[in-house]
Structure 1
Amino acid sequence: MRRTAAALAITAAALVTPGVAHAQATDDYQGCPSGYVCIYPNASWNNGVPEHRYYNYQAYDLTNEFGVHRIFNNQTGGATVQTCKGYGGSNCGDKMAPWTYRDEDLTPINSILLQS
C-alpha cells in the first residue's frame, strides 16, 4: 500500500511540475503576449494596453516617442532587449533580461534591439 501511494505521489508530481513551468514560460502579462517586448505609453502598465509590441529578433526604429515609458521584456529563453540612442540598433545600453521591465525616458532613444 505504501509503495502504491508513493508511486502515485511521484506520478502526480511529474504531471504537475512540467505544467507549472510551461505555464510560466507562456504567460501573457499586462496585455503583453509571451515572446514579445512591449512598450507602454507612460511609466505604468496602462491598464494592460501596450502602445507597441515587438516579436522578431531585430532592431526597430522608434518615432515620436517622448518622456518616460514602461518597457517590458516578456520574451522567453534568455532573449534580451536593449534601448539604443542610434537608429538601426546602434549605440545601445544595457541588456534587459526576460520577465523584467524598466521605466525609461525615450526622448533620446531612437531604436530598440531584440536579441536571442
Structure 2
Amino acid sequence: MHKITTAAAGLCLAVVAGLAMAPSANAATPCPTGALCIRETNGTILDRNIFYSYGYHNLSNVIGKRVLVHNQTGGAGFRVCLGYNGTNCGNVLRWTGESAPYDMTPINSVVLVR
C-alpha cells in the first residue's frame, strides 16, 4: 500500500510541475512563421522578442526560464550567446518548435543563421 501511495504522490507532483513550467496551449501566443521567438513566463510573446532577420539581436530584460520557439524555415538556425553583439555563442541549433524552459539570465544576445 505504501508503494502505491508513494507512486500516486509522485505522479501528482510530476503533473503539477509540468503544468507550472509550460504555458497552456490556449494561453500561449503563437510565434510567426519565419521567426525565432522568446516566450514570456505567462505564455505571451513580446514584439521585441520576435526575430526575423539574420545576424545578432541583443536582448533586454530577458531573464529567468523562458521557452524558445523556433519557427524559421528553410533549415535556418540560431545560436544563444553569453555576450552582446553575438559574442561567446553556443552551437547552431536547427530544431524547430518549442524548447523546454531555458534559463535566459546569462544570455545577452541571439544570432539567426542561414
TM range (shorter): 0.5 to 0.7
Query: What TM-score comes out, normalization by structure 1 length?
Result: 0.65
Residue 95 of structure 1, CA deviation: 2.0
Give unpaired runs (5+ residues) of structure 2: 1-27
Letter in 1 for 2:94: A
Task: Classify the secondary structure of the residue corresponding to 2:105.
Answer: coil
Q: Is the 8 A contact 1:75 1:98 kept in 2?
A: no
Q: 1:109 aligns with which of 97, 107, 110?
A: 107
* Structure whose alpha-carbon radius of gyration is higher: 1
- 1:25 counterpart residue number: none
Give the direction of change, closer, same or farther, for the CA distance of 1:64–1:30 in structure 2 (3 Å limit): closer
CA distance in 1, matches of 2:31, 2:37: 6
Q: 1:85 aligns with which of 73, 82, 85?
A: 82
- 1:66 counterpart residue number: 63
Deviates most, 92-101 or 75-84: 92-101
Letter in 1 for 2:112: L
Q: Residue deviations 1:39-60, cap 9 Å, x none?
A: 1012x7x1xx313210000100
> What does 1:92-103 align with in structure 2 at a 5 Å threshold?
92-102=89-99, 103=101
Give the direction of change, closer, same or farther, for the CA distance of 1:112–1:87 in structure 2 (3 Å limit): same
Letter in 2 for 1:112: V
- 2:45 counterpart residue number: 50
Identity %: 36
Q: Residue deviations 1:32-85, cap 9 Å, x none?
A: 11100011012x7x1xx3132100001000111110011111000110011100
Letter in 2 for 1:35: G
- 1:41 counterpart residue number: 40
Give unpaired runs (5+ residues) of structure 1: 1-28
Residue 96 of structure 1, CA deviation: 1.9
Letter in 1 for 2:72: Q
